[in-house]
Amino acid sequence: MEIFGAIEAGGTKFVCAVAGEGGGSLRTATIPTGDPDTTFAQVARFFAEAGDIGELAAIGVASFGPVGVDPHKSDYGRILATPKPHWEGTDMIARVKAFADVPVGIDTDVNAAALAEVAAGDGAVRQLAYVTVGTGIGVGLVSDGQPVHGIGHPEAGHILVRRHLAHDGFAGLCPFHGDCLEGLAAGPAVAAAWGLSPSHIPEEHPFWTVEADYLAQLCMTLFLSFAPERIVLGGGVMKQQRLIPLIRSRTVELLGGYLRALDSEEAMAQRIVAPACKEPSGLEGAYLLARQAAARR
């Protein structure tokens, strides 16, 4: 049997998985992200052991960024400037090719997730943004069915936002920009600003309003600049299901009636949604990258 490999390469963990022609992971493993040598040694072991399931046709890598995504450039497949120790300059494609002589596809975890969310839909959505809010904030964009690349890939997690009054004394945590969106609203920023983990915040805490406001500012910017038919919100912080309705209503408020198609909570409920993929969107996206790489062969 022919199998496809998926690697969702994250800053805290690598999820490796294999699926057959019909999709759906047959086996998965979660590997804590250490240095590249240690991490890829375990990734290689997983795929070697998966040889008992079938013959590997291709591997897709949905990688944390920034990562080179242009096959015509010398940094293709390489991790670019990152605060993550040991990873800058790592050639993700060469690391995979070192243990598996198969076609390898790569994109950012969020672009891959956006591709998977388009594929999970009914075919009506061609323009989609996938946002992850976790240890960082990432935004993947798919336009007319293709992931958006240009000068690298989108990095809308680092846009500047208007600071919430209840957040006044907090400087923000982004090592590059201080109080950009990620610096104010990603998981570590939430913990630093409020001294609380997002999963343990009482209902009446100002966090909910502040967090929804920042993420609504992102949604507004995405609607205005990119006109997505759907914005999918995923990631660890978004597991707090109270957030999505708050973000929807704040986005309607911020847009102030300017975009007619989005001028009600009912309309927004169709546009700002939780992930639809059965498996984590990034992992399903990695399978799509693998299938594309196999088809290009």
Shortest distance, position 99 Cβ to Zn ion, whole Å: 34
Q: Is 177 in the site for Zn ion (CB under 5 A)?
A: yes
Rounded to whole angstroms, the maximal C-alpha distance in the chain is 58
- Please give the size of the binding site for Zn ion, defined by CB under 5 A: 6
The residue among 115 and 129 lying less far from Zn ion, judged by its C-beta, is 129
Q: Is 174 in the site for Zn ion (CB under 5 A)?
A: yes
97 Cβ contact partners less than 8 Å away, ≥ 6 residues apart: 104
The residue among 199 and 225 lying less far from Zn ion, judged by its C-beta, is 225
* Member of 180, 190, 262, 272 binding Zn ion (CB under 5 A): 180
CA distances from 163 to 64, 83, 87, 160, 170 (A): 27, 24, 32, 9, 10
The residue among 174 and 272 lying less far from Zn ion, judged by its C-beta, is 174
The residue among 36 and 152 lying less far from Zn ion, judged by its C-beta, is 152
Q: Is 158 in the site for Zn ion (CB under 5 A)?
A: yes
Tokens of 212: 């929804």
Q: Is 163 in the site for Zn ion (CB under 5 A)?
A: no
291 Cβ contact partners less than 8 Å away, ≥ 6 residues apart: 4, 58, 60
- What is the per-residue binding string for Zn ion in 181-200, x denoting contact by CB under 5 A? -x------------------
Shortest distance, position 130 Cβ to Zn ion, whole Å: 19
The residue among 45 and 158 lying less far from Zn ion, judged by its C-beta, is 158
Bridge partners of 25, per DSSP, are: 19
Tokens of 124: 């009506």
CB 131 within 8 A of CB 217: no
Q: Distance between CA atoms of 118 and 114, rounded to whole angstroms?
A: 6
Bridge partners of 231, per DSSP, are: 129, 272
Q: Is 116 in the site for Zn ion (CB under 5 A)?
A: no
Using CB under 5 A as the criterion, which residues of the chain lie in contact with Zn ion when the complex forms?
Answer: 158, 174, 176-177, 180, 182
